[in-house]
Each structure stands twice: as C-alpha cells, then as structure tokens.
Structure 1
Amino acid sequence: MNSAAKRAGNSAGKSYIVGVGMTRFEKPESRDWQYWDMAKEAGGAALADAGLAYDLVEQVPVGYCFQPSTAGQRAVYELGLTGIPVYNVNNNCATGASALMLARQFVEGGASDCVLALGFEKMKRGALGGGSDGGDFASSPVARHYGVMAARHGFEMTPPTAQIFGNAAREHMERYGTTAAQLAAVGAKNHRHSVNNPNAQFQEPCSVEEVLAARTIHRPLTKLQCSPTSDGSAAAVVVSERFVERHGLGDKAVEIAGQAMTTDTEESFASGSCIDAVGAPMSREAGRQALARAGVGIEDVDVIELHDCFSINELLTYEALGMCGVGESGKLIESGATTYGGRWVVNPSGGLISKGHPLGATGLAQAAELVWQLRGEAGGRQVQGAGVGLAHNIGLGGAAVVTVLRR
C-alpha cells in the first residue's frame, strides 16, 4: 500500500502528542539570541523527547505574532532543510494553540502521520499595544472590542489590554461582589506554583498582600496580576495512532482527546460588557465543544492550564468551563479548590502571570506542561494521579482554543 493510501486509512483517526519541548521563558532582551535560536532549542527538545529525527516530520505549522512574514521558515530551517510545508500562524494570544490545532487536523484528517507544531516570540520590553500600529485604534483588528469598552468606561492612558481586562474585573466586582483580594489570590497562587518550574520567567512566591501592594496597572489590576512580555519558544510533535504503533511510542503518547476553536459571535458585543468582549462567550463554547468531543465533563479533569493573561481572566474562565456558577469564581479561588489539595490544580506551571507570555509559544507551552503532568514528569509541581488535562488559550480579536489531553 502506498503512503497516500495508508494516510487515507487514517482519516478521522486519533492523534497523539509524543514529544514536547520549551525554552525557559525570559524577560525580553535578557539573553542574546534570535527567534530562530529559541525555536531550534524548543523544536529540537520536542523531537529529542519523542526520540525522532526531523526528517520524519511531514508538515510544520509555526505560530508567532511579532516577527516578519515567513519567520516560520527561517526558524524551522535550523532544524532541517527537507522542503516540507511550513505554515505561518498568527491568532493573537491564541497563536500557539492554533498551531497545535492545525497539527492535529493534519494528522486526524489523514494528510500526515507526523507534524511538528512550533511557536515562538521575541518581544520588546513594556506593555503590549492595542493591536494596531501607532495607536490608530479605528483600524485595529480589535476596534470593536475596545469600542465596547470605551462606550461604557471611556478610554484612558493605560495599556489597552490591561484596560479592557481591568474594566471586565470592575464589572465582575460590581455585579457579583468579587473582591480585590480574590483577584489578587490568582496572582499569588500562580506565583507560588511557578517556584517549582525551572522554565518560568518568575520563580519567587508572593502573598495576596504583596500582590495588592504592587504597582497598579489599571484598577483593580496590579503588576503581579498581569502577564509580562516574554521571549521564548515551545513545541509539540503530533502523530497518528499508526505512527505511535510503528515507532513504539506508546510510553510517550498523550492523546488529544478533544479540541475546539471558537471565534466571536454577536454575544461578544451585544451586551456592551467587557466580560463578553474579552472572550467569556468564546471560552464557554470552546470548552463545551472540546469536553463533549473528549466524552468527559469538567469534573473528570485533574489539571488545567488556562489563559490567565490577567487575574480576572482566570476567574472568568473558571465560570466559562463550568467549574463554578457565573459570579462564583471569586469564592472558588478563595476556597483553595484550584490549587494542590483542591478539586483541580490550575496553572501548576505558574500560568501566564508567572511563567511568562511569549504570545506565539504560550498555547504550546500549556500543552507541554500538561504532557509532563500526565506522564508524571513534572517534578516538584507534579499533580498526583493526573489522567486528564485541559488547556485553554485565548486571543482578542478573537479566538479561543480548548484542548483536552488524556493519558
């Protein structure tokens, strides 16, 4: 049987992650390296983890936001010059998970047996802009989102992304009585978790009081509740069930049991609420679809890596995933249900707030952390008995990707 016929037999098959890798996430300009250097490090680590040579890879979706066109090719060429297709992916902060989703679709659709999903970012210091050059928000891809914010809250001279999420936090506090201490508890938890992650940008614990005392970025969010700009890369090798069997990779394989991507609908804008504009409806629907495809409920999940770009987004995502009722997420974090000894361990890596947030790498770093957790390879941050993991990666503009992994 020729290779095309074999792949046809893999249509609608299963997909597995058999190798993951990432660099340490670092403050921009702290190391003298180029984006292709970090991509080589992460991609090479993922291939080494799988025990595979690059010449077995058939396609490479590459995610990044701030490098020039075809930077994906420049990065991949450091791994090998085999002439295979390379796809450049940009979906704002959901870019890494979008690259992973393409890899899964290539494999499950029967187009390829072995695909490398790669993400990287080399960023500048300072706060992110609003998704447009020179502050021209009228032409920005997220103009509708900021328009919702401006209509209700006005527009201030604080970083735009912190501003829209900060206003979502204010709305949550006004509607549901969520407190500043509950928001700060997210930052404190994730900084505490990152102490055991050698790849995290920050590895020092902090208390709720220290989070509250940090410099305000946009009320009520302080610096220790906001993800930093970061340099870094992450990668995952995605393969078919047949490839797992052929290469004896069963001890490495983690199944992509369910995955979904959603984009904005009218619900994101109709209410005039920043809670909706920053993606709560997208997250809710992506989570519903991914869990349904995996045939599990949120109660079956053990460990979660979610997109805590700001502390409020972790709370909103608890609600979107059905971990608690709408408006109850402040009480959930306060109860200890989302850390070690609780119902779920959320962001054992430290999350975006403490691990760092190089946009194109974030979603793949989430997948790497879950693979290590499900294999029992996470060291001092290991979630004991973890069998099902969930990753949530979201970008304004908008895209939400939820992935369920199962060992």
Structure 2
Amino acid sequence: MRRVFVVGVGMTPFVKIGSRAWTYPEMVGEAVRGALGDAGIGYDRVQRAAVGYVFQPSAAGQRALYDVGMTGIPVVNVNNNCATGSTALVLAREWIGAGLADVTLAVGFEQMTKQAMAGPATPPKITTVDGHLRLMSAHYDFGAAPMTTQFFGNAALEHGKRYGTTPEQLAAVAVKNHAHSTRNPLAQFQNAYTLDQVLADVPVHGPLTRSQCSPMSDGAAAAVLVSEDVVRELGLEAQAVEILAQELVTDDESAFATGSMIDVVGAPMTRAASGRALDAAGITIDEVDVIELHDCFSINELITYEALGLCGEGGSGALVESGATTYGGAWVVNPSGGLISKGHPLGATGLAQTAELCWQLRGLAAERQVPDARIALAHNLGLGGACVVTLYAGPS
C-alpha cells in the first residue's frame, strides 16, 4: 500500500440543530472549500469522493458536492452510524493506498432533527441494535430516555458497580472537555462547568446528567488526501500529515458473549481497532501525544481510556481525576471539547476529529495547541456497529 497524507482540512462551526439557516449543500460547500483552500488544490484535481451522512436522503453526497463542482468523478455515499465520517476517510485513504487515485476527498455532514433521532412511532421488527436491546432488557428496566442514552447510562451503572467508578469521576470528564471547548471557536458549547454544576445538571439516565451527553448538532467537515507523489509535486511537505495506520472493525461475538453493557457499547471493537493500528504503525499508546475520542457520553471516554490502554481495566476514573488526560498530562484527550462540548452531527464527527488532529500536528490549534504534538490518535465509534481508529504523524 502506498503512503497517504492529509494535506487539507476544513469544517464549519458545529451548532444547535436548526439554529443556522443553511441547506446541507451549503454546509458541505463551506467545509469542502475550506479543505481545498487549506490544501491549495482545486476541486478539478479531486479524482474520487466519499461523502458520509446518516439522516439525509439517498445520493445526498452527489447533491452536496454539485454546488462545489460537477466534474463527473465517482462519489460514494457512506452511512455507518456515528462512525460515518471516519468510514468515509477509510475509503478515501484506501483508494490512494491501492493506487486507484492520487487525490481524494472525504466529507461528512449532518442536519439532525429530533424526529429522526426519536425514530419511528412504531418500532420495526428488525433494528440495527437488536442484540444490544436483548442484552439490556435481560438486566435493566427500560426508561424514558433515548435508547442510546440508556445503553451508555447502564454501562455507567455497570462500571460503577464493577470498579467503584463514582459520579464525580464521570462528571470530571465533562468538566475537562467543556473546559477545553472554551478555546475552540468552532465548538457548539464554549462555556466551562464546575464539577458541582455537572453533577447538579438535569438527570438523563443512570448517573449521567445533561452536560455529560453529546447534543444534537448541525455541521460538516472535510479532508483532502493525496499520495506521496502529489505531496512532492505540489511542495506540500510542510503541511502533509501522514496516516500511519487505520483500522475499521465491527462487532464480533465477544460484544454479546459476556452480558456486559460495557462490551455492548463498543469496548471490544475499540480494543481490536486500536491494537491493530498501533501494531501496524509500530508504536505504543505512550508515544501518542494527542487524542480525539468518541465521548458521546462521559462514560464512553472512561471505557475508551481502558480499551486504548491508557490505563488498566477499571482505572479510568482515577486517570481522569489525576489530570493525565488534559494539558500537562501524559496525553491531551479531546482538546476540541469532544462530542460532549464541540457537538456531534453524526456524519461529520469523524472528519472533525481529523481536522482537529491535523491542526494540532501542524501547530495551528491556537489557544488549544498541544505543545510539541507529533503523533495523534482518532477514535470514532458507531453502535450497531463500527469503530475506526486512525493514527497520524505530523509533517517531518
């Protein structure tokens, strides 16, 4: 496989659903033109595009890009739940790695609605999370909260029962990420919270409160990928961020074999994807400087610490309280504010992680810059299920 580099990224602000009057082609155009401008590459150089979204109609990728340019290139529409944006990135990388293209585009976007998130009034006989529901119903009563919130809220209950993880430790994740977002002008929320404020916020499910849950958001993000030959041709060495390794995995039988909600919400996928990616890159997690991970709920950041190997099993609550995952610690996790504070427009999330980490590795993250960041990791998770872990290296 050929080496692949990200040479341009762009994203819109992530905003509360319906708060900005824009069409999805307008939001995509804003992100794509930003990425192309960052790369100094015209749309006519793009040979293939992967466009990710969850709730828009079929072939929305073509319509989203037609206002940027109608060049006749292959456009592939991608839907992999919350891992959609990173799955689009996987396709764009594989096309270059396999020699099928030299310049590709990965795009993710979402205009979310309360109705789409609530699902149909009459649930279908078959859903994408049948196994998750069966396992949860065997151990927990159903509540009034959205189903995904119940999955993760019950995982938080299990984590507390098994390891002694406290509500304060869960809330510390939200305190950290909301504090990080005060430095991010593109984040949906830019206000700091105290521990007491997070704990006293509106209860959602189990120990989770509202400020520990990612919001519904609108937004788009994009990345331009090129081969090593194009980096040299265009003299982009100073901004070329290499994709060192990348793994896309789905659930295996272990997700449902243990009866654990922690496993049901993706811990085995994260362990598998991160282990393979780190092995392929020939590095350890201790060599990673900055991480953007899928904190859809505060508990998932703690679960992901353990699955990535930042700490031992059950050690994540103490890890976040120690300051090891913020500025001055061993890693800076979610400097963007993460999904909890930056926002979570489903199709755009994975590529927003790409944008943040490329800015970090290029030294362009302004007030939230991680000092001397050289290696970065992105973790993007979708229930039902998919997990993408990507390792990046900064320009040499």
How high is the TM-score relative to the length of structure 2? Answer: 0.98
Q: Does the Cα contact within 8 Å between 2:55 and 2:116 map onto a contact in 1?
A: no
What is the CA-CA distance between 1:158 and the residue it aligns to? 1.4
Q: Distance in 2 between matches of 1:159 and 1:387?
A: 39
Q: What is the CA deviation profile of residues 301-354 of structure 1, one whole-angstrom value per residue up to 9, with x for unaligned ones?
A: 000000000000000000000000010000000100000010000000000000
Residue of structure 2 in register with 1:8 after alignment: none
Counterparts in 2 of 1:91 and 1:28: CA distance versus 1, 3 Å: same
* Pair 1:242–1:228, CA change in 2 (3 A): same
Equivalent residue runs for 1:6-405 within 5 Å: 12-125=1-114, 128-129=117-118, 133-136=120-123, 138-405=125-392
C-alpha separation in 1, matches of 2:391 and 2:110: 24
Deviation at 1:122, TM superposition (A): 0.3
**1:242 to partner: Cα distance:** 0.7
State the percentage of identical aligned residues.
60
SS in 2 for 1:104: helix
- Aligned residue for 1:251, secondary structure, equals helix
CA contact (8 A) 1:126 1:229 kept: no
Stretches of structure 2 lacking an aligned partner (at least 5 in a row):
none
Query: What is the CA-CA distance between 1:137 and the residue it aligns to?
Result: 5.7
C-alpha displacement at 1:125, in angstroms? 4.1
- 1:9 corresponds to: none
Q: Give the C-alpha shift of residue 281 in structure 1.
A: 0.2
Query: Where does structure 1 lack aligned partners over 5 or more consecutive residues?
Result: 1-11
1:227-260 Cα shifts (integer Å, max 9, x gaps):
0000000000011001111111111100000100
Three-state SS of the structure 2 residue aligned to 1:134 is coil
Q: Deviations over 1:354-380 (max 9, x none)?
A: 000000000000010000000000000
Q: 1:26 to 1:186 in 2, by over 3 A?
A: same
Q: After superposition, give the CA deviation of every residue in 1:29-63 in whole Å (9 maximum; x if it has no partner).
A: 10110111100000000000000100000000000
The number of residue pairs the alignment matches comes to 394
Q: Take 1:260 and 1:276, find their aligned partners in 2: how far apart are those partners?
A: 19
Aligned equivalents of 1:280 and 1:315: distance in 2? 10
Mapped to 1, the partners of 2:317 and 2:117 lie a distance apart of: 27
> Separation in 2 of the partners of 1:137 and 1:222?
29
CA contact (8 A) 1:137 1:143 kept: no
Residue 127 of structure 1 and its aligned partner are, at CA, apart by 9.0
**Structure-2 separation of matches of 1:322 and 1:357:** 25
Mapped to 1, the partners of 2:305 and 2:53 lie a distance apart of 27
Report if aligned partners of 1:142, 1:397 keep a CA contact under 8 Å in 2: yes
**Aligned counterparts of 2:219 and 2:65: Cα–Cα separation in 1:** 15
The secondary structure found in structure 2 opposite 1:170 is: helix
Q: Is the 8 A contact 1:128 1:161 kept in 2?
A: no
Aligned to 1:7: none
Amino acid at match of 2:392: L
Spell out, residue by residue over 1:82-124, the C-alpha distance to the aligned partner (whole angstroms, 9 max, x if none).
Answer: 0000000000000000000110000101000000000000011
**Contact 2:108–2:347 (8 Å) recurs in 1:** yes
> For residues 126 and 336 of structure 1, do their structure 2 counterparts lie closer, same or farther at Cα, with a shift above 3 Å needed?
farther
Mapped to 1, the partners of 2:353 and 2:313 lie a distance apart of 25
Secondary structure of the structure 1 residue equivalent to 2:51: strand
